[in-house]
Amino acid sequence: MSAADPSSPLPPTVPEADAPPLPIVVALGVFLLLLAGTYMVFHNERSYRDTKAQQIDAQAAILASTVGPALEFDDAKAAQEYVNALASDGGIDEAAVYDATGDLVAGYARSGARPTPPDLARAGHRITSNRILSVLPVRRGPSVIGTVYVRSVIEPLSRRLERYAAIGVVFLMAILTFIVLARTQRSLHRKNLELARANEALHAEAGAREKVETALRQSQKMEAIGQLTGGIAHDFNNLLQVISGNLEMLKRRDFALGDDARRMIDAAARGAERASTLTSRLLAFARRQPLAPRSFDVNALVTGMSELLRRVLGEQILVETVLAAGLWRVHADANQLENALVNLVVNARDAMERGGKLTIETANMTLDGAQADAHGMTPGEYVMISVSDTGTGMSRDVQEHAFEPFFTTKGIGKGTGLGLSQVYGYVRQSGGHARIASEAGEGTTIKLYLPRATADVEPAPAARPGAASAADLQDRPILVVEDDEGVRTFVVAGLTELGYPVRVAHDGASALRALDADAAIGLLFTDIGLPGAMNGRELADEAMRRLPGLPVLFTTAYARDTIVHHGRLDAGVELITKPFTLHDLAARVERILASEAARAFWSRDHAAAP
């Protein structure tokens, strides 16, 4: 059901494709650095040689210019001094001065031997693999008076390699730095990705949480509205009980009533009845209506309703039912489900004024924890009943309020705003859920989830008429406990009219006193909501402790949790909801008195009685 899955763990590693192709970048960077390094070494080597050659040329030129006078004045000693001065430069391994005929005047060779002059006729420098030599003529004016020769060793290869090794080390460092940076960048990138994913997950989780919170708020709001609605309906029911009860009493009495008076009484009674229908629907929303749940097959129910639905929908709307095979049975009030479906179908019809298609679908549905949480539902097994139309649909805003009582988009007088609220209240009270899926203009789907029946919990078989007739028992007084004076008066009057002796109490304490005072009491008829320390349920418990097996009939303007657990009546508990007619009351009292349990109680009581 849910698209978001916040529990999915973060992937431990990021796919390689997301990261930059590091090896290629690094290899390229390293290659370029090596290339640059090699170029620098070659460039250095060349410029070193050029510089060296220039230096040697310059030294030869200096020697040539300084040795000129020495040659002119045949001063070999001075010439030798110049040569020696030159030779003090560590790089120069040979230097010599020759006269015009090419004879050596002064010379130096590091080896100690005589200098080995090259071709003196060729002026300029020459570079060999490991030496640079320069030959320059010594001039006096236009004439050549001698030649100088200077030779230098190029810095030994080992020394040069050392220097280049230094460059190499620098480049190595650069390469290492590059690799480290690349690695750092890569891991940063990975961290970023992980962070982004974590952030995404966080967002998804926050979104899911928000959804849950919205669902929770919505349900709390519905709960609050339900409380309010239930309270109002309860009070109304008490009032309606007084009105309709007295109207009935009025009719039953043999007053000399004219036809007009009878018509007026009937009209008032009809009004009260309609008001009673309204309050019962309010109670349905408030989840305060007494339900008679039983295990039944929803498919059979839908099939059985199809004729009714077709009549409701008219001819312009196509009906399709998609009923799942092997559908689980549900445990709910079947009559109320029928009401709910009718309500939904009526809404669908109103949304499809120009015709369309209505689909009723059933399916088994298992909600796990995550799915249920995301939608504010309870995990478990459900039977889903969906009613879809192709009508006008609902906006998001309308959807939010659709289940609220008195909310309606229909025109004044067309809708009560209680249809969907009844559906909602009924489904919730039955332990299920109701959901709306709709898009404005796209139609609406309402899904009801009713809990799967765990076992066939059939209600106790209806009481069979027993041997003892009601007449036999009519001498047993009925203890009526009711705090509302109007209702009490009506009930007492009604029961008295039916021939039952009546004892009266207005709260738990006085009821117990009445019980103690009259051991013959055969039936406790009590309102559930009683003032004082003891409510009706507690009173019943206490009374049954004192008189085991005492039959009890509860009444209520709504069914509170005291006897209605999760919207279902406890087994064996009899309840009549207000407003009831005298006829309803008589029938219910007779049925109880005729039941096996009552008989057992009575016979035991008889035996015990003196």
Partner 1 sequence: MARRKAARPAMRIRALALALATLAGFAQAAPDDPGLEAAVKATYLYKFADYIEWPAGRFSSPADPLTLCVAGSDAITALVDAAAAGRTLQNGRPIAVRHVALAHERDCDILYLAPRREESEQEALREVRGQPVLTVSDGPVVGNLHAVIAFAVVDNRVRFDIDLDAAAQNRLAVSSKLLNLAVRVRPKL
Residues binding partner 1 (CB under 8 A): 66, 68-70, 72-75, 78, 99-101, 103, 140-141
Q: Which is nearer to partner 1, 95 or 239 (CB)?
A: 95
C-beta closer to partner 1: residue 146 or 226? 146
Which residues 6+ apart lie within 8 Å of 6 measured at CB? 201, 204, 205, 208, 370
- Candidates 59, 56, 151, 155; CA nearest to 107 is 151
Residue 421 identity (one-letter amino acid) = S
Provide the minimum distance between the beta carbon of 141 and partner 1 in the complex, in angstroms, as a whole number: 4
Q: Pick the closer one to partner 1 by CB: 64 or 372.
A: 64
Least distance from partner 1 to the Cβ atom of residue 56, Å: 23
Taking the least distance from each CB to partner 1, the nearer of 75 and 89 is 75
Q: Taking the complex as a whole, how short is the minimal distance between the CB of residue 140 and partner 1, in angstroms?
A: 6
In this structure, the strands spanning 294-296 and 317-322 are unpaired
Whose Cβ is closer to partner 1: residue 78's or residue 132's?
78
Distance of closest approach, residue 119 Cβ to partner 1, in angstroms: 20
CB 82 within 8 A of CB 106: yes
- Token pair, residue 183, equals 């690695």
Q: Which residue, 43 or 77, has its beta carbon nearer to partner 1?
A: 77
Residue number, 74 or 456, with CB nearest to partner 1: 74
Q: Is 532 in contact with 512 (CB distance < 8 Å)?
A: no
Indicate the residue among 103 and 260 with the shorter CB distance to partner 1: 103
Q: Which amino acid is at 224?
A: A
Which alpha helices (DSSP H) does 315-418 contain, by range? 334-351, 369-374, 396-401
The residue type at 35: L
Residue nearer to partner 1 on the CB measure, 70 or 360: 70
Residues 6+ apart with CB under 8 A from 333: 291, 292, 293, 294, 426, 430
The distance of closest approach from Cβ of residue 109 to partner 1 in the complex, given in angstroms and rounded to an integer, is 22
What is the C-alpha to C-alpha distance for residues 479 and 481, in angstroms, rounded to an integer? 6
What is the torsional sign of CA 100, 101, 106, 108?
A: positive
End-to-end Cα spacing for the chain: 69
Q: Which positions ≥6 away from 41 have C-beta within 8 Å?
A: 164, 167, 168
Q: How far is the CB of 149 from partner 1 (least distance, A)?
A: 17
Q: Helix 596-608 and helix 582-594: axis angle, to 10°?
A: 60
Tokens of residue 460, six digits: 């106790």
CB 372 within 8 A of CB 208: no
The C-alpha atoms of residue 50 and residue 55 are separated, in whole angstroms, by: 8
CB 86 to partner 1: min, Å: 15
Q: What are phi and psi of 515, to 5 degrees?
A: -60, -45
Nearer to partner 1, 75 or 538 (CB): 75
Q: Rounded distance, CA 267 to CA 231, Å? A: 27
101/158 with CB nearer partner 1:
101
Q: Which is nearer to partner 1, 138 or 367 (CB)?
A: 138
Cα separation, 304 vs 423, in Å, equals 19
Paired tokens of 165: 């090794």
Give 360's strand partners.
321, 387
CB of 55 to partner 1, least distance (A): 23
Return the number of the residue (105 or 298) whose C-beta is nearest partner 1: 105
67, 104 in Cβ contact below 8 A? no
Contact call for residues 6 and 208 (beta carbons, < 8 A):
yes
| In the complex, least distance from residue 92 CB atom to partner 1, rounded to whole angstroms | 21
Minimum CB–partner distance for residue 29 and partner 1 (Å): 60
Least separation in angstroms between CB 135 and partner 1: 19
Nearer to partner 1 (CB atom), residue 72 or residue 210 = 72
CB of residue 50 to partner 1, shortest distance in Å? 31
Which sign, positive or negative, has the C-alpha torsion 475, 478, 479, 482?
Answer: negative
User: Min. distance of Cβ 94 from partner 1 in angstroms?
Assistant: 22
Instruction: Note whether 559 and 290 are within 8 A (CB).
Output: yes
Please return the burial class of 354, using the count of CB atoms within 10 Å of its CB with bins 0-12, 13-18 and 19+: exposed
Partners of 212 in the beta sheet? Answer: none
Which of 160, 450, 402, 114 lies closest to 296, judged by CA? 450
- Within 8 A by CB and 6+ apart from 414, the residues are 350, 408
User: Which is closer to partner 1, CB of 78 or CB of 491?
Assistant: 78
* Pair 370, 8: CB distance under 8 Å: no
